[in-house]
């Protein structure tokens, strides 16, 4: 009689019993989806490093390149740059560098999945160019089935969550960003060395946007949507408490905007006392008042 394998992450059902791992995997489907979302969030957080780098004299954002100008830098920017350098080693303040951790896992996965590859074809399994976060995450996503059935899955998940946590708290840009939901677009992951054909997987990166932007762009795959289509992404409805936290605007002020601008509303399906408002209407009001310097 085959022994039932439980999810390596120890998740439980509503009745308190442990969930079973999916066939051929070390975890259940639910945890696999959550872990893929962690990779999407990680890619999204890491993308802010490019913006931070452009703020530094002599950084990659400078047209002239060259050496960085002397002078103090923001500790937040320094922390972000630490995570973009593959040479970064562990420090008590920042832990391991994000790129260094993800690259080490991707390199190990390439090595393990190439054990049966003839020596003359080994070169074709190594991506060209320098290590980048997008390249390493692409490797991990392509070999996703292998990752989910590996005995080291729990260690991998812990490292990815630690990296995401470090990036989230390493530094924040001054502009307020709003989380919309996961990117629904399918992107191709090329593996010509093995199959010669691309395999399509859902992007899954968390979509984030400034409230006064006109276009929402996925920083992972580059797909974009105009404001008129934002309601199709994520949850169209939200409440005053959540909006207040996202926009840093008092809930009483938001209720006033709702009356003045005629936001669409509906009762919550889970509570008669809770009112849901249309997120797109709220962001439009915020953007208009921000442009006019009227926030209160």
pLDDT in tens, 92-121: 555 678 888 999 999 999 989 886 555 555
Task: Render pLDDT for 72-82 as a digit per residue (tens, 0 to 9).
Answer: 444 445 666 66
What is the residue-averaged pLDDT of the chain?
75
Q: What is the reported pLDDT for 207?
A: 85
pLDDT at residue 60 greater than cutoff 70 = no
Q: What is the reported pLDDT for 153?
A: 96
Whether residue 173 sits in one domain with residue 280: no
Q: How many CB atoms lie within 10 A of CB 36?
A: 19
CB-based contact 41:206 (threshold 8 Å) = yes
Whether residue 155 sits in one domain with residue 49: yes
Who wins on pLDDT, 167 or 155?
155
Q: What is the reported pLDDT for 108?
A: 92
Q: What is the reported pLDDT for 109?
A: 93
Confidence of residue 171 (pLDDT cuts 50, 70, 90): low
Q: What is the reported pLDDT for 192?
A: 47
* Pick from 160, 165, 172: nearest CA to 80: 172
The C-alpha atoms of residue 124 and residue 195 are separated, in whole angstroms, by: 12
Q: Which two tokens stand for residue 176?
A: 């307020």
When pLDDT is averaged across residues 233-254 and rounded to a whole number, the result is 79
pLDDT at residue 162 greater than cutoff 70 = yes
Confidence of residue 156 (pLDDT cuts 50, 70, 90): very high
Domain count, the chain: 2
Q: What is the reported pLDDT for 120?
A: 57
* Pick from 211, 163, 184, 201: nearest CA to 49: 163
Q: Model pTM greater than 0.85?
A: no
Q: What is the reported pLDDT for 295?
A: 35
| Residue 161 parent element (H or E) | helix 153-170
pLDDT at residue 86 greater than cutoff 70 = no
Residue that terminates a domain, selected from 207, 227, 248: 207
Whether residue 190 sits in one domain with residue 118: yes
Q: Give the domain extent around 272.
A: 235-296
Task: Render pLDDT for 173-211 as a digit per residue (tens, 0 to 9).
Answer: 334 567 777 888 877 765 545 556 667 777 888 888 876
Whether residue 139 sits in one domain with residue 184: yes
Residue that terminates a domain, selected from 191, 207, 223: 207
Q: What is the reported pLDDT for 226?
A: 87
Whether residue 173 sits in one domain with residue 43: yes
Evaluate whether residue 249 is within a structural domain. yes
Task: Render pLDDT for 8-52 as a digit per residue (tens, 0 to 9).
Answer: 999 988 888 899 999 999 999 999 999 999 998 888 778 765 554
pLDDT at residue 53 greater than cutoff 80 = no
Evaluate whether residue 153 is within a structural domain. yes
| Residue 77 parent element (H or E) | helix 75-82
Burial class (CB in 10 A: 0-12, 13-18, 19+), 99: buried
Confidence of residue 231 (pLDDT cuts 50, 70, 90): low
Helical pair 153-170 and 98-113, crossing angle rounded to 10 deg: 160
Evaluate whether residue 25 is within a structural domain. no
């Amino acid at each position: 009689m085959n022994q039932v394998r439980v999810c390596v992450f120890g998740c439980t059902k509503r009745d308190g019993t442990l969930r079973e791992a999916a066939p051929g995997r070390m975890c259940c489907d639910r945890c696999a989806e959550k872990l893929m979302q962690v990779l999407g969030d990680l890619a999204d957080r890491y993308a802010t490093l490019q913006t931070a780098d452009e703020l530094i004299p002599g950084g990659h954002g400078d047209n002239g390149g060259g050496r960085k100008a002397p002078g103090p830098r923001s500790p937040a920017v320094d922390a972000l740059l630490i995570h973009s350098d593959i040479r970064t080693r562990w420090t008590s303040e920042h832990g391991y560098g994000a790129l260094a951790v993800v690259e080490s896992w991707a390199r190990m996965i390439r090595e393990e999945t190439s054990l049966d590859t003839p020596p003359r074809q080994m070169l074709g399994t190594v991506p060209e160019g320098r290590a980048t976060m997008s390249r390493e995450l692409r490797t991990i996503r392509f070999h996703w089935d292998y990752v989910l059935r590996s005995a080291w899955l729990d260690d991998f998940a812990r490292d990815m969550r630690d990296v995401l946590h470090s990036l989230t708290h390493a530094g924040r840009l001054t502009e307020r960003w709003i989380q919309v939901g996961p990117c629904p677009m399918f992107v191709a992951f090329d593996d010509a060395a093995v199959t010669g054909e691309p395999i399509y997987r859902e992007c899954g990166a968390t979509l984030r946007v400034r409230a006064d932007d006109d276009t929402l762009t996925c920083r992972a795959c580059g797909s974009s949507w105009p404001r008129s289509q934002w309601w199709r992404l994520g949850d169209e409805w939200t409440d005053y408490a959540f909006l207040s936290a996202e926009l840093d605007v008092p809930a009483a002020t938001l209720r006033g905007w709702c009356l003045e601008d005629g936001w669409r509303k509906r009762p919550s399906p889970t509570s008669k006392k809770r009112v849901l408002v249309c997120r797109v209407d709220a962001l439009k009001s915020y953007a208009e008042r921000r442009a006019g310097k009227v926030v209160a």
